[in-house]
Each structure stands twice: as structure tokens, then as C-alpha cells.
Amino acid sequence: MMNNDYIRGYFDAHGYIYSIKRQSGALRWRIVFQDQDRSQIGEVHTFLTNEGYHSGIYLRKDNGRFGPRTVQKITITKQAEVERFIKEIGTERSESRERFNQFLINKGAAGV
């Protein structure tokens, strides 16, 4: 059954968080899931949508370590939803946890 624990594990295996700097200097954070398994990522997208996340899903060609492939990506861009994801779902990966903390510090919130 799909729940927050499942999404956390899926994020740890297939996701990452990153920031981009706008011309104004403000940081915009994004949470991304990437997978070749369209049915699996589709189920994750449906779960996130049902939970109130406004995530986009799209195909992307990727030239990964194992050669070119087509992957499907889910992206969460609304900053309030990035914060909600961090607080409600989180991560077990230390690298992602550090990035989550950077986001929360930039937002003036307590770390995870």
C-alpha cells in the first residue's frame, strides 16, 4: 500500500532535491523523482496528487552512466509543498537530509 513511508523509500532510491538561483538572487528548490518504470512513477504521481501536491510529470531523455534512456520525472516546485514534503515525508539519506536542512534554514524553519 502506498503511504508516506513508501514514498520516502522511493524518494531515497529515485529522487533528489536541488536549488536554482533566480536572477533576483532568491533560491528556488525542487524535489524530483526519476524512474524508467512508468507504472511505478505513475502510482507515485497519483499518490502525491491525492495528497494535495501539484507535481508535474514528464518524459525526459537522459544520458546516464549506462547510456541513453528515456525516463519519467515528477517535479515538485511549489516552495510550500517542498517544505511540506520535507516535514511530512522526509528522507533516510544523509545527503538529502543535508539538502533538506539547507532548504529549511533558508526558509527560517527548524531543521530535520
What integer pLDDT is reported at residue 67 of this predicted model? 80
Tally the domains of the chain.
Answer: 1
CATH of the domain at 81: 3.10.28.10
| CA 48 to chain CA mean position, Å | 11
Position 80 in a domain: yes
Query: In which domain, by residue range, is 43 found?
Result: 4-107
Across the 112 residues of the chain, what is the mean pLDDT of every consecutive 10-residue run?
96 94 89 94 97 94 81 95 94 87 74 51
Position 13 in a domain: yes
Burial class (CB in 10 A: 0-12, 13-18, 19+), 78: middle
Tell me which residue has cell 529522487: 15
What pTM, to 2 d.p., does this model score? 0.84
d(Cα 83, Cα 81) in Å, to the nearest integer? 5
Position 73 in a domain: yes
Which segments within 10-111 are labelled E, that is strand? 15-21, 27-35, 56-64, 67-76
> Does residue 55 sit in helix, strand or coil?
coil
Position 112 in a domain: no
d(Cα 7, Cα 12) in Å, to the nearest integer? 8
Position 79 in a domain: yes
